[in-house]
Chain A
Amino acid sequence: MPPRLKMPNRTTRTHIAFLALPVALFVTFYIYPIISSIHLSLHSWDGFSPSMRWVGLQNYVTLLGQPRFFNAVINNVTWVVFMLIVPTGTGLLLAALLDRGIRGESVFRILFFLPFTIPAVAVAAIWRWMYEPSNGLLTTVLELVGLGGLAQNWLGDPAIVNFSLMGAVAWWTTGFAFLVFFAGLRNIPTECIEAARIEGATPWQTFWKVSFPLLWPSTIIVLGMSAIDAMRLFDVVWATTQGGPAYSSEVLAVQMYDLAFGRFAMGRASAVAVYLLLLSAVIIMPYIYYMSKRVTESEAE
């Protein structure tokens, strides 16, 4: 038998057999639909009629001329920046404070983490109630402390609806960052901290010069997951405002859903989805590449 046609050995055969189903699922549910969406984005189709009309790049060009589309792109980018900074930073702060040996640690830990476990639609339902303009918690508390004048139509005003949504999301996702950072801090050998203290470093210096660099594995997980969540953001926005008022809180995912299943503009909706995929690839691909590389390197050591 020529060497090229040599039967793979048993280990290789097992590997191939194990990978067959996951790869088949990946091809069927990721690759095929992505190609199909790209194909669809070059057509005009209402989802019902038997034939689609070829329009070339017209869907892409039309979108570029729409303020509604640009607004959603800007909202998506703003969400990425927000998710990378606010829940992550707050989680790190809470983890660092709690790591100093405070009484009642487990109570704090549970309270900070609890919101993360609840569904996005529950976050939406609860915060619609918090933000209720006349009787909601936020307005009530502001009135109680004499700042009633600051009360807003939290979800009804295009100028502030995004900040309101971000507040709800910060409440929801900070717990994840907190827990990962907290576990990371607990994994740092106490000798490192002790050594720094003996050298005369202040707690502030110890944290930034010793603990924080050692937290890198936690940081990379939190940042990556935040970016991925920000690009996929749909549930909270849809269940809270449906993108309104007047599309002001719309992200690309919500706009795509509205175009596809609300207006049956399947081609246009697919073009929105392709733009979202490109945006997501640009922002997240370096992270995926880094993760796949890093694991290989750490094993080679």
Chain B
Amino acid sequence: MSNALAQRQTALTRTILIVFAIIFAAPLVVATLTSFKSPPELTRVLSLPSELYWQNYQAAFERMGRSFFNSIAITVPAVALSILIGAVAGYPLAYMRGSSGKLVYFLLLTGMLVPFQIVQIPLFFLIQRLGLYDTIAGMWLVHTAYAVPFCTFFMRNFFASVPRSMYEAALIDGCSPARYFWKLLLPASTSGLAALAIIQSRAIWNDLLFAITLTSSDAARPVTVEISGFASSLQVEYGPLMAATLVSVLPVMAAYLLFQKSFVRGLLGGAGK
């Protein structure tokens, strides 16, 4: 290929990428600028704020500060529980031979196609009967239970990629299957667990459906419900709304940026094989 042609192609590639990068960045940039603008400046979308108007953040925090902490209190334990349950279910399914294991695995996988609407009404009454309506513990239980299919799928495939010789050697040395799981397999699977933890953090932090169905007050309402109410009110104050939105975005965004590599590795090494 001639050099000039190659150069032209590189320039074209770069141009297309830059155009897309601008499209991808623009909404976030505009939202950030808006969050620092005073009300009269809001109508000039493309201008820079004349000064940093922190009152938006103050207003946002007064309105949703509590829900932000609820989100943290829901997400952290629920992520830990859901990856643990996925590992506990994935382990036997990765090692069982014969049709019963396959059947259980297939059954659990079908959970992935279930739209949550089919469980929503009975779940609402079930959680009320259990006395867990509008509680943070109730949200842990629900997020853990509905994570079973995906987390099992993910961890089972990850465990299946761990060399079986390790398992057989441990058993010959007199290690029990349960001890092998806790002492050897789990510590050897940190990259898979980390990847799943990131996926689950996003899923649980970002959840709206379970949260609007099962919470009703500041006792357990997470930030997503607050923002949804905020955004759909008749007179939307975009300054505080953008401030609240950006704050709600930060934890998961930071987690992904920090652990991007292990996310990709886990996704392809585990589920992708």
Contact = CB atoms under 8 A, between A and B. Distances in A.
Interface string B233-273: 00010100110111011001101110010011101100111
A164 interface: no
Interface range on chain A (Cβ under 8 Å from partner):
35 or more
B31 A126 contact: yes
A1 interface: no
Interface in B123-181: 123, 126, 142, 144-146, 148-149, 152-153, 156-157, 160, 176-178, 181
B105 interface: yes
B228 A112 contact: no
Contacts of B34: 129
A273 B268 contact: no
Interface string B37-80: 00000111110000000000000000000000000000000000
B177 A117 contact: no
Nearest to A135: B43
Contacts of B257: 110
Given A128-B236, A129-B34, A22 B148 contact: yes
A111 B256 contact: no
A280 B113 contact: yes
Interface string A161-191: 0000000000100110001100110010000
Interface in A182-235: 183-184, 187, 203, 217-218, 221, 228, 231-232, 234-235
Interface string A254-276: 00110011000010011011101
A4 interface: no
A100 B13 contact: yes
A108 B21 contact: yes
- Most B CB contacts (10 A, CB to CB) among A183, A184, A221, A238 go to A183
B45 A269 contact: no
B188 interface: no
Interface in A42-85: 47
Contacts of B187: none
A127 interface: yes
B245 A126 contact: yes
B36 interface: no
A17 B252 CA distance: 34
B145 A29 contact: yes
Contacts of B46: 137, 140, 144
A21 B157 contact: no
- Most A CB contacts (10 A, CB to CB) among B149, B206, B265 go to B206
Main secondary structure of the interface of A (DSSP, over half): helix
Contacts of A92: none
A102 B245 contact: no
A23 B267 CA distance: 24
Given A235-B209, A292-B106, A299-B160, A37 B122 contact: yes
Given A97-B13, A238-B228, A29 B146 contact: yes
Nearest to A285: B113
- Most A CB contacts (10 A, CB to CB) among B34, B89, B114, B209 go to B114
Contacts of B264: 179-180, 183
A120 B231 contact: no
B162 to A, nearest CB: 12
A10 B46 CA distance: 68
Contacts of A257: 117, 120
B30 interface: yes
Given A29-B146, A125-B227, A184-B272, A277 B206 contact: no
B110 interface: yes
Contact of A36 (B20, B43, B122): B122
Contacts of A284: 112-113
A15 B252 contact: no
A180 B26 CA distance: 23
B46 to A, nearest CB: 6
A222 B264 CA distance: 13
B248 A119 contact: yes
B232 A239 contact: yes
A15 B109 contact: no
17 contacts: A25-B85, A29-B146, A30-B149, A97-B16, A103-B14, A117-B252, A118-B252, A118-B253, A119-B205, A119-B249, A121-B228, A125-B244, A126-B27, A239-B228, A239-B232, A253-B115, A253-B209
Given A36-B122, A126-B27, A240-B231, 19 more contacts: A14-B92, A15-B177, A18-B88, A29-B148, A33-B122, A94-B20, A97-B17, A112-B20, A113-B260, A117-B249, A117-B252, A117-B255, A120-B208, A129-B238, A137-B26, A171-B24, A221-B271, A273-B118, A292-B109
Interface of B: 9-10, 13-14, 16-17, 20-21, 23-28, 30-31, 34, 42-46, 85, 88-89, 91-93, 95-96, 101-102, 104-123, 126, 142, 144-146, 148-149, 152-153, 156-157, 160, 176-178, 181, 202, 205-209, 213, 223-224, 227-228, 230-232, 236, 238, 241-242, 244-246, 248-249, 252-253, 255-257, 260, 263-265, 267-268, 271-273
Closest 3 CB pairs of A and B: A22-B89, A15-B92, A33-B119
